[in-house]
C-alpha cells in the first residue's frame, strides 16, 4: 500500500511539472535556430489582428531590404513549397521528426536546390502559382542550411514570416519554442469599449457601444466611472512592445476581475486554422470594421469556441446588482511584464424595473414596438440608419415606413408589463419586408448557424444562400437591391456580426448583360482608393444569373469589364542579391484584375514565367537560363479575368 501511495504521488508530481515545462516550451526537446541573419527584431507577434484572421506567426524585420539568408530552424523534411502573388508568396514548409512544422514565407527566392524543383513545377504549364506537397521526394535539410532569401512576395513590406505548427497543422506561438527578444516593456492600454448585450442594456444612457480613453497615473490606466444597466461586456484596445522596438504587438494574456472575482482569462498559445476567422468576433467587429481600433473582447460571444479562452464566469458577461462595482483588467506579455487598467461600473436599475418590449435581435435593425405588425406610419429606426448605401448606428425618422410580415406571425408584447428585465419578445419565423419611399425594397431573414438559409426576393430577382456554418450565431440579415438600375446594386447587411464563412448572392439580370457573360462580375467599391474591387463571380447564361461569393457584408455592384489591361515601362535589370537578370513591364487593370497564370511573356523567342507582383503592379519575365543580348526582342500578352487581353511588343537593349 505505501508503495502504491508513493507511486501515485510521484505520478502527480510528474504531471504537474510536465505541464509547467510544456507551458515554458511546448516542445522542450526541440532546439530552434533563429531563422535569418537579417535581424533579431520581431516586427509582429503571434495572435495579432489581421484583415480577417489572426496572425499565425512571428515576423522578423529586415529593415526594408531583401536578400538576407533564411535558415532551416531545425533538421527537417522538405514537405511543401509554394509560390503566389498573394498570401505567403514564396514559402517553404519543413516537417520535423516530432511531427511539427516550420514555415518560412514571403521569401524573395529559394536556395538553388529548392529553386530547381520550383522551376520544374512552374514550367510544366508556364504558370507562376504553385502549391505542392513534395514529401515523397524524401529531401532532408539540416538545421542552419540556407533555404532561401528574405523578401516581400505575397505581401510587403520586406520581412520574414516564421510560423510553427503542431503535427495537426495548428499554428502555435513560436515563443513557446524558445524564440525570444529582450523585453522588459509592459503592455499599454489605449481604450476601453463597453457593449450592450441584453435587450435592456444601456451604457451611459444609450443602447450603443461606448468607448473611452484612459487616464494614466502611477503606471495604472484609469477608465473612470461608467454608468451601465442590464447585461454588458467589456473590451480593451491593448498592445505591447519589446525593448527598443517601435512596432506594436498583441498581448499574450488578458484577465478581467470585477469586485475581486475572476470573470475572464485568455492566453494566446495556439489556435486551429478552422477558427482563424473567429478573430472577427474575438474583436469588437463594428469598431474594427469602422477602423476605430482592434478592441479585444473580455467576454465570449455565443458560437465562439476559440482556443485562447482558458476560463470565464458567465462567459465574461456582466450583469450586476445596482451600485458601484470596481473592475480590473490585467494585460501581460509572454515574459511576464504586466499592466493594469481599472475603472468602476456604476450600475442602475431600469426605470420601474421594466424592460422596453423589443425584438431581439431584430431590434438591432429596426427597434419596432408596435402591437400591430402590419402598419404604415412615421417610425424611427432605432439602431441602424440608411446613409449613402449603408446602415449607420444612428437614429432617423422615416415617413411612411411599413413592416410587412409575409410568411409567419410575429408575437409582440401588448404592453410594457409583458416583458420583464432580461427577457425579450420572440420572433418565431421572422421574415418580413421593410417598405419606405426612402429605402429600396428590403427583406429581413434570420440566419441560424446550424441551418441552411435560402432567402429570396422574387420581384427583384435576388437569392441569398447562407450554408450551415456561415454565421457565428443567430443573425438577422437584410437583403435589398435595385436590379433595374443602370448599374444594378445590392445590399447585404447583418446587424452586428460578420460572416463566418462566405455566402452566395445570386441575381437575375436582363439579357443584355449576357452578350459576353465572362465580362460581367460583382464588385465592391473602395471609397478610400476610389476604385472598384472584383468579387469572385460565376455566371449561368442559361438562367441569366450571376453568383458572387460574399465574404463580408456590404454593397455589391454589377459591372461589365470590356477593357484589356494596360502595359507600360519595360525595363531590363539585374537583381543585386543573386545577379540574376529580369525584364519587367508595369501592368494595370482597374476592373476584373490581372489573370497572371494565363498571361504570357516571351523574350528572344523563349517563353518564360510571368512573375506577377500585384502590389508593385509589375510583371517580370523569369527564365533560369536568361542572359540578355545586346538587343532583346520581347512580347507580352496580359489577360484579365474577364477574358480581355492586351499584347505588347518591344525591343530593349542591354
Does residue 356 lie in a domain region?
no
CA nearest neighbour of 651 among 573, 596, 580, 572: 572
pLDDT at site 609: 98
Give all strands of the β-sheet with 537-540 in edge-to-edge order.
453-457, 462-466, 503-508, 545-550, 537-540
pLDDT at site 397: 35
CA distance 215 to 59: 32
Instruction: Say if strands 220-229 and 338-347 run parallel, antiparallel, or are unpaired.
Output: parallel
Q: Do 517 and 575 reside in the same domain of the chain?
A: no
Which tens digits make up the pLDDT trace of 77-116?
Answer: 999 999 999 999 999 999 999 999 999 999 999 999 999 9
Question: How many other C-beta atoms can be found within 10 angstroms of the C-beta atom of residue 607?
Answer: 14
149 and 70 Cβ atoms separated by less than 8 Å: yes
Q: Would you give the distance in Å from CA 432 to the centre of its chain?
A: 31
190 and 293 Cβ atoms separated by less than 8 Å: yes
What are phi and psi for residue 208, nearest 5 degrees? -155, 165
Q: 289 - beta bridge partners? A: none
Percent of the chain whose pLDDT exceeds 70: 81
pTM of the predicted structure, to 2 decimals: 0.83
Which tens digits make up the pLDDT trace of 23-34?
Answer: 333 444 568 999
Residue 322 grid coordinates: 445596482
Confidence of residue 433 (pLDDT cuts 50, 70, 90): low
pLDDT at site 198: 85
Q: Do 514 and 460 reside in the same domain of the chain?
A: yes
pLDDT at site 496: 61
Confidence of residue 219 (pLDDT cuts 50, 70, 90): confident
Which tens digits make up the pLDDT trace of 28-56?
Answer: 456 899 999 999 999 999 999 988 899 99
Q: Do 155 and 301 reside in the same domain of the chain?
A: no
Specify the residue for cell string 462566405: 502
129-138, 245-254, 284-293, range with greatest mean pLDDT: 129-138
pLDDT at site 375: 33
Q: Do 245 and 298 reside in the same domain of the chain?
A: yes
Count how many domains the chain has.
5
Q: Do 142 and 243 reside in the same domain of the chain?
A: no
Name the domain boundary from 177, 197, 219: 177
Residue 211 grid coordinates: 468607448
Name the domain boundary from 177, 211, 244: 177
Gap between the terminal Cα atoms of the chain: 88
Q: Do 474 and 460 reside in the same domain of the chain?
A: yes
Whether the pLDDT of residue 22 is over 60: the answer is: no
196-205, 380-389, 470-479, range with greatest mean pLDDT: 196-205
Sign of CA dihedral 619, 580, 574, 83: positive
Structural domain of 19: 1-25
pLDDT at site 494: 67
93-107, 191-205, 348-362, range with greatest mean pLDDT: 93-107
What's the CATH code of the domain at 83? Answer: 2.70.70.10
Does residue 579 lie in a domain region?
yes
Task: Compute the C-alpha angle 358/361/363, nearest 5°.
Answer: 45
What's the CATH code of the domain at 505? Answer: 2.60.220.30
Does residue 30 lie in a domain region?
no
Whether the pLDDT of residue 159 is over 50: the answer is: yes
Which tens digits make up the pLDDT trace of 370-417?
Answer: 333 433 333 333 323 333 333 333 333 333 444 444 332 233 322 223
pLDDT at site 211: 98
Q: What is the mean pLDDT of residues 584-611?
A: 97
Whether the pLDDT of residue 428 is over 80: the answer is: no
CA distance 525 to 533: 6
Q: What are the C-alpha distances in Å from 277 to residues 265, 282, 283, 301, 307?
A: 20, 9, 11, 14, 12
pLDDT at site 370: 37
Residue 26 grid coordinates: 511546448
Whether the pLDDT of residue 432 is over 70: the answer is: no
CA distance 457 to 224: 49
CA distance 279 to 297: 10
Percent of the chain whose pLDDT exceeds 90: 65
Whether the pLDDT of residue 642 is over 50: the answer is: yes
Which tens digits make up the pLDDT trace of 163-197?
Answer: 999 999 999 999 999 888 899 999 999 999 999 98
Which tens digits make up the pLDDT trace of 302-344?
Answer: 888 999 999 999 999 999 999 999 999 999 999 999 999 999 9
Say which residue, 620 or 286, is predicted with more confidence. 620
Confidence of residue 419 (pLDDT cuts 50, 70, 90): very low
Say which residue, 38 or 12, is predicted with more confidence. 38
CA atoms within 13 A on the CB side of 71: 15
Specify the residue for cell string 494585460: 331
DSSP one-letter string for 395-453: -EEEEEEEEEE-SS-----SSGGG--TT--B--SS--EEEE-TTS--EEEEEE-TTS-E
Q: Do 586 and 474 reside in the same domain of the chain?
A: no
The mean pLDDT value of the chain amounts to: 83
5-9, 477-481, 492-496, range with greatest mean pLDDT: 477-481
Q: Do 585 and 553 reside in the same domain of the chain?
A: no
Q: 488 - beta bridge partners? A: none
Name the domain boundary from 349, 378, 395: 349
Instruction: Say if strands 261-267 and 309-312 run parallel, antiparallel, or are unpaired.
Output: antiparallel
Residue 18 burial (10 A CB sphere; 0-12, 13-18, 19+): exposed
81-90, 287-296, 434-443, range with greatest mean pLDDT: 81-90
Q: What is the mean pLDDT of residues 449-469?
A: 90
Q: Do 173 and 205 reside in the same domain of the chain?
A: no
What's the CATH code of the domain at 244? Answer: 2.70.50
Q: Do 237 and 372 reside in the same domain of the chain?
A: no
CA distance 193 to 195: 6
Amino acid at each position: 500500500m505505501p508503495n502504491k501511495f508513493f507511486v501515485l504521488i510521484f505520478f502527480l508530481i510528474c504531471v504537474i511539472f510536465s505541464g509547467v515545462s510544456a507551458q515554458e516550451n511546448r516542445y522542450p526537446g526541440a532546439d530552434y535556430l533563429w531563422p535569418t541573419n537579417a535581424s533579431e527584431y520581431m516586427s509582429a507577434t503571434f495572435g495579432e489582428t489581421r484583415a480577417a484572421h489572426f496572425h499565425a506567426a512571428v515576423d522578423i524585420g529586415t529593415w526594408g531590404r531583401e536578400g538576407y539568408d533564411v535558415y532551416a530552424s531545425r533538421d527537417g523534411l522538405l514537405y511543401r513549397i509554394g509560390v503566389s502573388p498573394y498570401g505567403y508568396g514564396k514559402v517553404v514548409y519543413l516537417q520535423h521528426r516530432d511531427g511539427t512544422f516550420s514555415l518560412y514565407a514571403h521569401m524573395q527566392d529559394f536556395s538553388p536546390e529548392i529553386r530547381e524543383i520550383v522551376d520544374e513545377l512552374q514550367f510544366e504549364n508556364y504558370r507562376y502559382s504553385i502549391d505542392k506537397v513534395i514529401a515523397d521526394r524524401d529531401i532532408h535539410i539540416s538545421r542552419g542550411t540556407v533555404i532561401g532569401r528574405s523578401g516581400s512576395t505575397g505581401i510587403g513590406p520586406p520581412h520574414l514570416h516564421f510560423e510553427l505548427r503542431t503535427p495537426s497543422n495548428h499554428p502555435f506561438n513560436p515563443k513557446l519554442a524558445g524564440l525570444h527578444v529582450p523585453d522588459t516593456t509592459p503592455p499599454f492600454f489605449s481604450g476601453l469599449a463597453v457593449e450592450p448585450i441584453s435587450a435592456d442594456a444601456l451604457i451611459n444612457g444609450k443602447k450603443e457601444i461606448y468607448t473611452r480613453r484612459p487616464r494614466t497615473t502611477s503606471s495604472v490606466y484609469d477608465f473612470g466611472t461608467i454608468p451601465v444597466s442590464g447585461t454588458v461586456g467589456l473590451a480593451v484596445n491593448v498592445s505591447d512592445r519589446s525593448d527598443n522596438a517601435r512596432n506594436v504587438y498583441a498581448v499574450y494574456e488578458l484577465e478581467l476581475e470585477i469586485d475581486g472575482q475572476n470573470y475572464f482569462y485568455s492566453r494566446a498559445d495556439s489556435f486551429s486554422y478552422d477558427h482563424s476567422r473567429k478573430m472577427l468576433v474575438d474583436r469588437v467587429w463594428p469598431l474594427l470594421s469602422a477602423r476605430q481600433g482592434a478592441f479585444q473582447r473580455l467576454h465570449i460571444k455565443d458560437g465562439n469556441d476559440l482556443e485562447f479562452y482558458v476560463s470565464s464566469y458567465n462567459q465574461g458577461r456582466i450583469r450586476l446588482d445596482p451600485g458601484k462595482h470596481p473592475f480590473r483588467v490585467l494585460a501581460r506579455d509572454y515574459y511576464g511584464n504586466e499592466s493594469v487598467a481599472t475603472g468602476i461600473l456604476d450600475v442602475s436599475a431600469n426605470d420601474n424595473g421594466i424592460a422596453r418590449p423589443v425584438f431581439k435581435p431584430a431590434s438591432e435593425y429596426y427597434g419596432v414596438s408596435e402591437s400591430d405588425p402590419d402598419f404604415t406610419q412615421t417610425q424611427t429606426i432605432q439602431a441602424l440608419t440608411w446613409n449613402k448605401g449603408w446602415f449607420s448606428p444612428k437614429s432617423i425618422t422615416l415617413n411612411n415606413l411599413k413592416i410587412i410580415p409575409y410568411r409567419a406571425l410575429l408575437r409582440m408584447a401588448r404592453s410594457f408589463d409583458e416583458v420583464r428585465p432580461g427577457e425579450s419578445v420572440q420572433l418565431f419565423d421572422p421574415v418580413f419586408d421593410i417598405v419606405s419611399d426612402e429605402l429600396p425594397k428590403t427583406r429581413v431573414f434570420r440566419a441560424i448557424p446550424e441551418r441552411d438559409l435560402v432567402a429570396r426576393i422574387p420581384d427583384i430577382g435576388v437569392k441569398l444562400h447562407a450554408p450551415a456554418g456561415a454565421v457565428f450565431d443567430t443573425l438577422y440579415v437584410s437583403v435589398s437591391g435595385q436590379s433595374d438600375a443602370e448599374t444594378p446594386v445590392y445590399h447585404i447587411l447583418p446587424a452586428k456580426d460578420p460572416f463566418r464563412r462566405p455566402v452566395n448572392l445570386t441575381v437575375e439580370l436582363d439579357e443584355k448583360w449576357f452578350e459576353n457573360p465572362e465580362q460581367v462580375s460583382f464588385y465592391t467599391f473602395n471609397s478610400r482608393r476610389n476604385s472598384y474591387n472584383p468579387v469572385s463571380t460565376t455566371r449561368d447564361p442559361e438562367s441569366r444569373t450571376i453568383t458572387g461569393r460574399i465574404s463580408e457584408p456590404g454593397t455589391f455592384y454589377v459591372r461589365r469589364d470590356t477593357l484589356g489591361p494596360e502595359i507600360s515601362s519595360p525595363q531590363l535589370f539585374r537583381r543585386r542579391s543573386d545577379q540574376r537578370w529580369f525584364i519587367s513591364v508595369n501592368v494595370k487593370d482597374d476592373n476584373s484584375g490581372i489573370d497572371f497564370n494565363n498571361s504570357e511573356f516571351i523574350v528572344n523567342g523563349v517563353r518564360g514565367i510571368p512573375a506577377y507582383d500585384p502590389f508593385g503592379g509589375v510583371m517580370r519575365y523569369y527564365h533560369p537560363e536568361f542572359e540578355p543580348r545586346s538587343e532583346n526582342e520581347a512580347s507580352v500578352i496580359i489577360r484579365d479575368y474577364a477574358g480581355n487581353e492586351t499584347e505588347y511588343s518591344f525591343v530593349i537593349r542591354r
